[in-house]
Structure 1
């Protein structure tokens, strides 16, 4: 049987797009598009004689529907059964249970210090989901749960091992991403009371994916050093993140004073932004919220407003 040609499936004037262009149009990276196809059969692009994927407009519309379901909290394993249903269909009640089981598996793996399995879960989550969904539905809830547990029953071995693992994985991505983009440089720092870099690392992943270069400090950078750091690193913005409430004087006085003296914007995100929203709302510090993907999405309008972009 002769292989199916593109012309046999679509009229000759139907545009077909390579995977790189589809990734640009939909915001879904090519690794994820291939994973959706191979693992779940969610999309079925055509192939050139040399095996390169080609996507029609119908495929792009299907990808957008997949994203709609994922953004409603449906795990990718359940999307296939929903794609051809009316858009008004209710989100299935089993979603949270599936996400809960994935969160529990990740949490158990971290606490067991099973690094090979943790590495597999890390790469799988970033392959199957857009990063914003992987962070919101999996990594941030697990880190919140672990930090709450560690606050009551410290476990330095588990925490430091997980931090070292996460730092190495994010560091690899940042190294290559920083070389591949000319985007604005974000100086990203932990805050003084945060005992580790987990929130900063999640922010770094998201900012890098959005095309920013990231200079990351996983220990708090002294506020007095900010002007020199911004100048010498040619930074367009300073972004602080923390999973803690942070000290009253630091929040009420030191940070706003530093923001007033700086010639680039200062933003704050993570749990600290939720816990301190009222304390910093009307000052010179930009409160970006505890939803990390939304916080990173707010950087571009903030940089435009500041005249940097």
Structure 2
């Protein structure tokens, strides 16, 4: 029977080792074997379970609800995301940056980036994206902490084997989403760099041989579709990162 280290499993399943440890310790989702030295070892059945956990989470189920689903219980799967959103909103309303920073970091350890972006951070930012000054101030606080956390995550991912890429915003005003999409891509094996200032027109010729991801924040216009096709015909590695 083949056994794998936590690093091997993390690379194979494209998930952070810290997240795997949280799933085991806090949620009891995994029960890996241990070497005499205390190191975790996973078998093929563990890997299948990890992939099943990922599928539940990516479908919108918070990690705290997954164990019950794996055991065949019926649960209201989406309450957990709303609970996490409300917890973060409460911290924001009380303007407690240190506590919010800790909350974001904990969530980042326990959930895959894509699920957290789609089910927590984007919905919160949408709720805060109002004309009211207080809401806009809270959104600005959250954005600063998110960018700071994503920067930390990207620095860690660049230390691992992977493919280099750059993400560029095109015609969007949402700079924070550029960073969040860079984080999402980093969990897919890309070592991301971020062009933090959105552009009116990207220039792939400035980045020869570089894989480029273009983020627009909305569906591509016909002109943008034609422009990306033109760049690809010229031999540039350009892909649209959908919102």
TM-score range, shorter chain: 0.7 to 0.9
Deviation sequence 1:170-192 (CA, Å, 0-9, x none): 12222343354451422322535
- Tell me how far apart the structure 1 counterparts of residues 207 and 14 of structure 2 sit (CA, whole Å): 30
Aligned equivalent of 1:157 = 137
Q: Which runs of 5+ in 1 are unaligned?
A: 1-13, 270-287, 291-309
Aligned equivalent of 2:82 = 100
| Residue 111 of structure 1: how far off its partner (Å) | 4.0
The counterpart of 1:215, out of the listed 193, 205, 223, is 193
Distance 1:260 1:119, change over 3 A: same
The counterpart of 1:178, out of the listed 134, 147, 158, is 158
- Tell me how far apart the structure 1 counterparts of residues 21 and 47 of structure 2 sit (CA, whole Å): 14
Deviation sequence 1:221-278 (CA, Å, 0-9, x none): 241x6145334xx4322412337x99xxxx565x467546634255445xxxxxxxxx
| TM-score for both structures, normalised by structure 1 | 0.67
CA RMSD of aligned residues (A): 2.8
Structure 2 residue matching 1:217: 3-state secondary structure:
strand
- Tell me how far apart the structure 2 counterparts of residues 136 and 256 of structure 1 sit (CA, whole Å): 24
Query: What pairs with 1:102-117 in structure 2 (closer than 5 Å)?
Result: 102-117=84-99
Aligned equivalent of 1:29 = 16
Q: Is the 8 A contact 1:190 1:219 kept in 2?
A: no
| Residue 215 of structure 1: how far off its partner (Å) | 2.8
Q: Number of matched residues?
A: 239
The counterpart of 1:79, out of the listed 48, 66, 75, is 66
Structure 2 residue matching 1:95: 3-state secondary structure:
coil
| TM-score for both structures, normalised by structure 2 | 0.82
- Tell me how far apart the structure 1 counterparts of residues 199 and 59 of structure 2 sit (CA, whole Å): 37
The counterpart of 2:39, out of the listed 42, 52, 63, is 52
Q: Say whether residues 1:20 and 2:2 are aligned partners.
A: no
- Tell me how far apart the structure 1 counterparts of residues 12 and 226 of structure 2 sit (CA, whole Å): 42
- Tell me how far apart the structure 2 counterparts of residues 57 and 174 of structure 1 sit (CA, whole Å): 29
- Tell me how far apart the structure 2 counterparts of residues 175 and 219 of structure 1 sit (CA, whole Å): 19
Aligned equivalent of 1:187 = 167
- Tell me how far apart the structure 2 counterparts of residues 181 and 219 of structure 1 sit (CA, whole Å): 27
Q: Say whether residues 1:205 and 2:187 are aligned partners.
A: no
The counterpart of 1:235, out of the listed 210, 215, 225, is 210
**Does 1 or 2 have the higher relative contact order (CA < 8 Å, sep 6+)?**
2
Task: Please say which structure displays the higher CA radius of gyration.
Answer: 1
Aligned equivalent of 1:146 = 128
